[in-house]
Amino acid sequence: MNSKVMLLRPKRFGDDRGWFTEVYNEKTFDGYGIGDRFVQDNHSLSVPAGTLRGLHFQTPPFAQAKLVRCIRGRIFDVAVDIRRNSPTFGRWVGATLSAENGNQLYVPVGFAHGFVTLEPSSEVTYKVSNLYSAQNDGGILWNDTEIGVEWPLPDGVPPLLSPKDERQPLLRDFDSPFDYDGDPLELVEM
Q: Select which of 24, 32, 56, 180 is catalytic.
A: 56
pLDDT digits (tens, 9 = 90+) for 64-84: 999 999 999 999 999 999 999
pLDDT digits (tens, 9 = 90+) for 149-184: 999 998 888 999 999 999 999 999 999 999 999 899
Predicted pLDDT of residue 3: 83
Q: Of 111, 108, 93, 121, which is closest to residue 171 (Cα–Cα)?
A: 111
| φ and ψ at residue 13, rounded to 5 degrees | -115, 115
Confidence check: pLDDT of 2 > 80: no
Predicted pLDDT of residue 77: 98
Which overall architecture, per CATH, does domain 5-12+19-189 show?
Sandwich (2.60)
**pLDDT, average across residues 22-48:** 95
Predicted pLDDT of residue 190: 84
Q: What is the DSSP letter of 180?
A: P
Task: Check residue 178 and give left, alpha or beta (phi > 0: left; psi -120 to 50: alpha).
Answer: beta
pLDDT digits (tens, 9 = 90+) for 121-134: 999 999 999 999 99
Confidence of residue 1 (pLDDT cuts 50, 70, 90): low
| All residues at 6 or more sequence positions from 123 whose CB lies less than 8 Å from its CB, including other chains | 43, 44, 45, 46, 70, 71, 72, 73
Is position 126 annotated as part of the catalytic site?
Answer: yes
pLDDT digits (tens, 9 = 90+) for 34-46: 999 999 999 999 9
Q: Select which of 24, 113, 126, 180 is catalytic.
A: 126
Predicted pLDDT of residue 156: 81
| Dist. CA 122–CA 145, nearest whole Å | 27
**CA 38 to chain CA mean position, Å:** 15
Q: How far is CA 25 from CA 17, 103, 124, in A?
A: 24, 15, 19
3-state secondary structure of 50: coil
Is position 56 annotated as part of the catalytic site?
Answer: yes
Per-domain boundaries in the chain: 5-12+19-189
Peptide bond into 55 cis (omega under 30): yes
Helix (H) or strand (E) holding 31: helix 26-32
| Dist. CA 137–CA 117, nearest whole Å | 22
Percent of the chain that is helix, strand, coil (3-state, to 5): 10, 40, 50
| Dist. CA 64–CA 19, nearest whole Å | 31
| Dist. CA 110–CA 126, nearest whole Å | 17
